[in-house]
Structure 1
Amino acid sequence: MELPVFVVDAFTGVPLSGNPAAVCLLGQDLAEEMHQKIAAEMNLSETAFVRTLSPMDDFSSGNTNARLAFHTLSGELAACHEGDHIALDLPLNPTEPLQDKDEFKTLIQVAVGEMSVQDVRYSPGTCKLLIRLSDVYTRQDLERMPIDPGSLLRVERASGSPDVMGVIVTLRGCGGDRIDFYSRYFAPWVGINEDPVTGSAHTVLASYWSKELGKQELTARQCSPRGGELQLSLQQQHGRVSVSGQSRIVLRGSLHL
């Protein structure tokens, strides 16, 4: 059996940066075990499997709609083309102030060390902790910030604090920069030490920074070693956010099974 496979770098226009994902085109159904083995072979945080709805279709003449809807465990998610960007329609996830900062104190200290913290929020919908650094810091400070994901994992388990599935460290955009805010994202609780570029984290960041900056249209930069850039457009009345970015196909090949 030969299956077409691609590696796509998302949220970037520059090859070998952004968020890498594998896409495998299936001409037939495969057992779940085989899905898992292929994903392990690709060794990326995301592997998508695409198949036609009808045996009479092929991938060149199948669904040619500009907007595609995906039925997921999080509900229906839509993707569409916006110029040279692909936009995802995602639920907006608000944050709330911490009722008891002491229960997160050690986790925050392990995450950012001695750096000054301006705000800390929690997103109950995603179980993500948002830590905003003081405005005195720069993008370079955020990029150089050393974080030990193993220590984050150990301290959260030992503290008995509310569930944390990811830590977002964020910083306001620097003066004169077209970027509204920067971030890094760590999720060792789900096996991702540092995510290159994270759509779900920006559903939290968009809610927070929109209120802080008084803007509905935001430009964001995730400052992982690979790095990526996102455009965010909020629809507050519907509780949604459009998360868009460029993408590049960096590998085309075949799996031989």
Structure 2
Amino acid sequence: MEISIFTVDAFTNLPFKGNPAAVCLIENELQDELYQSIAAEMNLSETAFITRRNSMDFSSGARFGLRWFTPKSEVPLCGHATLASAAVLFYIKVRNTPPYMINNVNPVVVFETLSGELNVRQHGESLIMDFPLNKPKPQDQHEVKDLLKAIVGDLTIQDVCYSETTKKLMVCLADTCDRSKLTSLKPEPDALLRIESTGKIKGVIVTMKGAPTAHPGYDFYSRYFAPWFGIPEDPVTGSAHTVLAGYWSEKLGKKKMLAYQCSSRGGELELELRDDGRLDISGRAQIILQGTLKI
């Protein structure tokens, strides 16, 4: 079996920045064990698998199946690997059967996923993803005090919220906190796993207010840690911003925001809360590797 495979850096316009995802084009469904083995082999935070629908090819089809796997397990939602998948369909020259099929011809592609239908459309040099909005609810800090201590130490915390839908805990640092404090955090993955083993929390977002008057004017910053999925730190996380967008929109009184996830690779996301209760996440992507996986 031969599978077309790509590596895409998402939420960046530069190679080796943003969040890398592997993307596989699947002609026919595989066994779950094989999906997981491929993701473990790629050893990136997520590997995405695009499958055809209604016997349409990858160039002319407008609807596809999409699944995401970390090196350890399948996940219900992944933003950067969705962006990467759309980039492959819109930008890449692929060979299904001769002759070459060049770029997907549709203005919008629809992915059928565990989180429902996700639409992605082109807009200039960016791709815009139609995602659910997962606004978090306030969380009693005392109930997670040991976990908070392991993540942010003695830094002053402004809010702690929890998204039941995504199982993500969001920790907002005080406005007086310097960005350098956020970027210097180094939580120990094994410690987080020891402290939280109930399955209630699958990822922790640490965020703080940005500097919207500066250039380029980020409304907020964040980092994301998910050792429960085998990801000590995810470089840029679309699903985390489905949680962050609702929180910061209310705090800042804004529906359009520019966010920066300040991992070592870094990545930029444009966010817009829509009137229908969903979220547009915009970003760029760079395809850096194209090849064939032989099994």
Answer yes or no: same fold by TM over 0.5: yes
Aligned to 1:239: 277
Aligned to 1:87: 128
Is this contact kept in 2: 1:52–1:62, CA < 8 A? Answer: no
Q: Unmatched 5+ residue regions in structure 2?
A: 60-100
Look up the SS of the partner of 2:231 in the other structure.
coil
Deviation at 1:69, TM superposition (A): 1.0
Name the % identity.
51
Distance 1:62 1:27, change over 3 A: farther
Aligned to 2:163: 123
Aligned to 2:259: 220
Is this contact kept in 1: 2:58–2:104, CA < 8 A? Answer: no
Aligned to 1:195: 234
Is this contact kept in 2: 1:4–1:24, CA < 8 A? Answer: yes
Look up the SS of the partner of 1:233 in the other structure.
strand
Distance 1:169 1:62, change over 3 A: closer
Q: Distance in 2 between matches of 1:62 and 1:221?
A: 29
Distance 1:206 1:26, change over 3 A: same
Distance 1:122 1:50, change over 3 A: closer
Is this contact kept in 2: 1:180–1:218, CA < 8 A? Answer: yes
Is this contact kept in 1: 2:205–2:225, CA < 8 A? Answer: yes
Distance 1:53 1:163, change over 3 A: closer
Q: Distance in 1 between matches of 2:254 and 2:123?
A: 20
Pair 1:108-2:145 in alignment: no
Q: RMSD of the alignment, in Å?
A: 2.1
**Paired amino acid for 1:167:** V
Distance 1:179 1:49, change over 3 A: same
**Paired amino acid for 1:151:** A
Q: How many residues align?
A: 252
Look up the SS of the partner of 2:239 in the other structure.
helix
Q: Distance in 2 between matches of 1:76 and 1:27?
A: 20
Kindly report which structure 2 residues correspond to 1:162-181, keeping only aligned pairs within 5 A, or say none: 163-174=200-211, 176-177=214-215, 178-181=217-220
Q: Unmatched 5+ residue regions in structure 1?
A: none
Deviation at 1:140, TM superposition (A): 2.3
Larger RCO, structures 1/2 (Cα 8 Å, 6+ apart): 1
Aligned to 1:206: 245
Deviation at 1:31, TM superposition (A): 3.7
Per-residue CA distance 1:34-87 (angstroms, 9 max, x = gap): 333322222222222234446674642685211111111111111111111111
Deviation at 1:176, TM superposition (A): 2.2
Q: Distance in 2 between matches of 1:114 and 1:136?
A: 14
TM-score by length of 2: 0.79
TM-score by length of 1: 0.90
Deviation at 1:165, TM superposition (A): 1.4
Pair 1:182-2:207 in alignment: no
Distance 1:233 1:30, change over 3 A: same
